[in-house]
Structure 1
Amino acid sequence: MTDKFADLPEQRARGLRKMEQVYGFDMTDGDGDFFRYTADHLFADIWTRPGLTDRDRRLLLIGMLAGQGAADVLGIQIPAAHAAGELSDEALREIVVFLSHYAGWPQGARLNSVVEETIAKSRREKAGF
């Protein structure tokens, strides 16, 4: 299997590989400072530091995103965590109950929608629909 990022500088390649792992979908290289900081710093450096597992980082991120009401980004992170096996159906539902009490019920309701959509989609895919 060839590494599609082999021709890129090591830091960018490491960042793009980690982005694929975290997001659960194929990444391509991008342009501009925002993409550079995202790939080269956030994913190549921060997401690969020792001390926390990807699951730990994901839980922290989900909590912060729920508190901010960032349902759009939760719509990326929740399905990716579920697909990667980092968070089960039961764990996702428990996160909703827990965070609703700290982030507020409206934020929890949005989070619950993302979680239940993720679980339903996963079940449909497993059933071949």
Structure 2
Amino acid sequence: MDVSSEMSVDASAQEGRGEQTAAEVLGSAELPFSQTPFGRASRDFLYGQVWSRPGLSRRDRRFVALTCVAAADAPEPIEEQVHAALASGDISLDEMLELVLHFAVYCGWPKASHLEGAIARQWDRIHRERGEPAPAWPELDNLTLGPGDMEKRIARGVEEFIDVNLTPAPPVNSPYRHAGILNFVFGHVWQRPGLTRRERRIITVASVALDDSPVPLRTHVAAALHSGDITKEEMDEIVLQFAAYYGFAKGDALADSVEAAWAGRPA
């Protein structure tokens, strides 16, 4: 077999792998990729190489992709990724709704509102396609909001901040730090049971990387690696998945933060 024939066979295999992986990820057997450079790269690179890589589970890759498309205000990809995550069972409805709250903290309430709307639409669509009524969303008990005693709540927030960030907690000298960071973000959200700390780290790392937030980017990447919640190999895969969905320029900044954090890890 000559070189040109070998290249043709490799290209054909790449196309087949991309189409198969895309069908598995998106849950559709009919994915007509265009023959534009973007269409071919979507098939051969995004699905044929990135989504099919070992080193990170499909569920973890979904957390990165969902964060990116929701932050990018990309209507069709948001609906597509939400539908795929729910229909596949990779992420449950309760977990998706928990993702919305964590995403809201790091990317803002308006974007989170749109994401939650997509979840409602796709939840109804999935069950409509199955010919069954969509189950109601869960009714939440006020006890899930944590202690009402503000002294206890702030104390818990301080402890959680230290555990998550591996740094001392900030002083309570501004509304942002007192009411926002220690009371709500770490006094409540990071302690909720709907997602693991590792999963919250994945969502947070993707969020701070796309937010152009250099200090949170450095601190959250370092904490994720230094805590051992995410391995260096897993973080490298998160960087690639993130770059594919939010751009290689921002991916480059995330990769630099990863390397700096890894070089500075405790002995």
TM-score, structure 1 length as denominator? Answer: 0.85
Deviation of 1:94 after TM superposition, in Å, equals 0.6
1:40-65 deviation line (CA, Å, top 9, x unaligned): 11111111111111111111011112
Distance 1:120 1:41, change over 3 A: same
The alignment-based identity, stated in percent, is 29
Partner of 1:81: 85
Q: In structure 2, do the counterparts of structure 1 residues 35 and 53 end up closer, same or farther at CA, with 3 Å as the change threshold?
A: same
Aligned residues: 122
Instruction: Tell me what 1:101 maps to.
Output: 105
* In 2, Cα distance between equivalents of 1:29 and 1:47: 16
8 A Cα contact 1:71 1:111, kept in partner: no
In 2, Cα distance between the equivalents of 1:75 and 1:39? Answer: 19
- TM-superposed CA distance for 1:22, in Å, is 1.2
2:23 to 14, 20, 23: 20
Query: Match for 2:17: what amino acid?
Result: R
Aligned-partner Cα distance in 1 for 2:33–2:50: 18
- For 2:12, the aligned partner's letter is P
2:64 corresponds to which residue? 60
Q: Offset of 1:97 from its aligned partner?
A: 1.1
In structure 2, the partner of 1:118 is: 122
SS state at 1:9 partner? helix
- The answer for unaligned runs of 5 or more in structure 1 is 1-7
Structure having the higher Rg: 2
Confirm or deny: 8 A CA contact 2:33 2:40 kept in the other structure.
Answer: no
Give the superposed CA RMSD: 1.8
